[in-house]
Amino acid sequence: MSWGSALRKVRGGKTVKVEVRVKGGVIREVVISGDFFAYPPEAIEELERALVGASVEEVASVVRSFKGRVQVVGASLKDFEELLVEAARHAEESAPKGEGP
Amino acid sequence: MRWRLLIDPGDVFWQMAVDEALLKLRRRDRSPSTLRLYIISPSAVTIGYFQKIREAVDLEYAEERGIPVVRRVTGGGSVYHDENGEVTYAVIAKVGELPADVVESYRAICSGLVEALKELGLEAEFVPINDVVVGGKKISGSAQLRRGDAVLQHGTLLYATDLETLARVLKAPKEKLAEKGVRSIYERVTTVSKELGREVSRDEVVEAMVKGFSRALGVELEPGSLTEEEVELARRLEAKYRSREWNFRR
């Protein structure tokens, strides 16, 4: 079980950081932070909750299901999706060898 | 059209609570559209709704200097509110009174700052999403939240902020600095006094802001005060802004 993070300064936009804790290919915790704007802001917390329990492969579809439910300004859902996948990959790479689900 | 004008002092907990209270009550038609101009005293830091407090602020330095740090209900970045060098504004209105598009509504409200700076003799420019710059340097940042058909936008105007303290207390993400290709805070941020080459008084700035917002928004600003209902709700919300649970949630 381990944490991975990914950070991006969106061109012409804001900074977004994603941290995920992954165990056995499943997301256990997510924090999306930065100086972006979201309308409504609570949708980002809903997205974080919706991602918990999802497999790394399911990240894209969970994020895409928020289309139309939130308007992100200074970044995009696509940025979140890419950062989530990157952070999850970092988490898996740093996981101790032999750790099972 | 007439809007209420509020000019009032207070600490950061109270000021953030009043802004949120007015947004909630504007939505319920219990508050009129309002321009607030305020000083945050003592000097404080506010951080954006989604920021991680430890990554945005040097908490040790803030504590050492007695600078309170509070999470805003609005997104965006961290701000140092210097009680002797910064005026904060807040616009509370209905979405229908502003352009529907988010960035255009930022532009419409930030035009008030551009006009205020013109009044002071400076040529300023709105840079999307939420900055106002003079000569390529940031002099103001804003943050907006919408609830139903009500909107709150608050932001800062630096007229004599101690940039050294600002640079010490706020942590800038390395990636952001790298992209802009500059290092020093003095190359990125400026104040009205620095740009004019003279000491500008707070009263002068406040007066220019009243004129600037009135002109840009096409509204007549009528000095008023908070209603009992607004004060009561702000008192209740103040507790949140003082709580560790809220400020350290990220």
Question: Where is average pLDDT lowest: B25-34, B157-166, B179-188?
Answer: B179-188
In angstroms, the separation between the Cα of residue B198 and the nearest Cα of chain A is 33
**Chain B touched by A49 (CB under 8 Å):** no
Cβ-defined contact of A17 to B74 (cutoff 8 Å): no
Give the residue on A whose Cα is nearest the Cα of B129. A74
- The C-alpha atoms of residue B70 and residue B246 are separated, in whole angstroms, by 8
Q: Residue B165 phi/psi, 5° resolution?
A: -65, -40
* CB-based contact A21:A90 (threshold 8 Å): no
Q: Give me A51's structure tokens.
A: 């991602």
3-state SS, chain A, equals CEEEEEEEECCCCCEEEEEEEEECCEEEEEEEEECCEEECCHHHHHHHHHHCCCEHHHHHHHHHCCECCEEEECCCHHHHHHHHHHHHHHHHHHCCCCCCC
Q: Would you state the pLDDT for residue A94?
A: 87
Q: H/E element holding B82?
A: none
Find which of A33, A72, A83 to mutate to test the B interface (most B CBs within 10 Å of its CB). A33
The CATH number of A2-94, from 2.60.120.40, 3.30.390.50, 3.40.50.300, 3.40.50.12780, is: 3.30.390.50
What's the Cα-to-Cα distance from B72 to each of B77, B130, B180, rounded to whole Å? 10, 16, 26
Q: Residue A24 phi/psi, 5° resolution?
A: 60, 40
The stretch B201-229 carries a mean pLDDT of 98
Q: Is the pLDDT of residue B131 over 70?
A: yes
From the list A8, A12, A36, the residue facing B50 with the nearest CB is A36
Cβ-defined contact of B51 to A33 (cutoff 8 Å): yes
Question: In a 10 Å sphere around its CB, with 0-12 CB exposed, 13-18 middle and 19+ buried, how is residue B136 labelled?
Answer: exposed
Give the count of beta carbons closer than 10 Å to the beta carbon of residue B68: 19
Q: Would you state the pLDDT for residue A57?
A: 95
From the list B74, B102, B176, the residue facing A9 with the nearest CB is B176
Which residue numbers of B have CB closer than 8 Å to A's CBs? 48-52, 55, 73-78, 102-103, 128-130, 143-147, 173, 175-176, 178-179, 250
Domain boundaries, chain A: 2-94
A residues 27..46 contacting B (CB < 8 A) = 31-41, 44
What's the Cα-to-Cα distance from A77 to each of A36, A64, B51, B138, rounded to whole Å? 11, 7, 17, 27
What is the amino acid identity at position A87? A
Cα maximum dimension of chain B: 50
pTM value surpassing 0.90: yes
Q: Would you state the pLDDT for residue B230?
A: 98
Give the residue on B whose Cα is nearest the Cα of A40. B146
Q: What are the residues whose beta carbons fall under 8 Å from the beta carbon of A88, sequence distance 6 or more?
A: A4, A20, A22, A27, A56, A59
CA angle A10–A16–A18, rounded 5-degree value? 135
Mean pLDDT (chain B) is 95
Look at the block and give the residue holding tokens 């904060």.
Answer: B88
B5 three-state secondary structure? strand
Q: Give me B158's structure tokens.
A: 């630096």
Q: What pLDDT digit, counting tens, does each position of B25-39 carry?
A: 999 999 999 999 999
Q: What is the DSSP letter of B31?
A: S
A–B interface: beta-carbon pairs under 8 A:
65
Mean pLDDT (chain A) is 93
Q: What pLDDT digit, counting tens, does each position of B54-104 carry?
A: 999 999 999 999 999 999 999 999 999 999 999 999 999 999 999 999 999
CA nearest B130: which of B150, B152, B154, B151?
B154
Q: What pLDDT digit, counting tens, does each position of A63-83 carry?
A: 999 999 999 999 999 999 999
Domains of chain B are 2-247 (3.30.930.10)
**Chain B touched by A73 (CB under 8 Å):** yes
A41 prior amide bond cis, ω within 30: no
Q: Sign of dihedral through CA atoms B115, B119, B120, B121?
A: positive
Cβ-defined contact of A37 to B146 (cutoff 8 Å): no
